[in-house]
Amino acid sequence: MDGHIDIDLDVEKLESTGGRATYIEIKDYVKGKYGYSISSLYIAQIKDKVGLDKRLNYNHGTGKTDGRTLVCPPEKEEAIMDAFRHFNLM
């Protein structure tokens, strides 16, 4: 025996994430399904809108801004909501 094990794994059939997903996972899901690149700001805005908890952002307040606030477009909002449902966040 060489200590090597072959496993056939279908990622799509794995158990749910238990209501947890990283921003990167959400971005990758939206990019793969819809072709949209979305920002963490948009994800945070939609989390606020639907009342989901956000993790602490250690970089918050360190960047410079011109005072404008970007608002998530409706089509990207729906894609993010779909990702939330996919990852059982809602």
- Residue-wise pLDDT for 39-82, tens only, equals 999 999 999 999 988 766 555 555 555 667 789 999 999 999 99
- Centre a 10 Å sphere on the Cβ of residue 26 and count the other Cβ atoms it contains: 24
Residues of the chain with pLDDT > 70: what percent?
Answer: 68
Alpha-carbon gap, residue 10 to 58, rounded angstroms = 35
Predicted TM-score (pTM) of this structure: 0.69
Would you say 80 and 30 are in contact if contact means Cβ atoms under 8 Å apart?
yes
In the prediction, which pLDDT does 83 show?
96
pLDDT at position 4 is 75
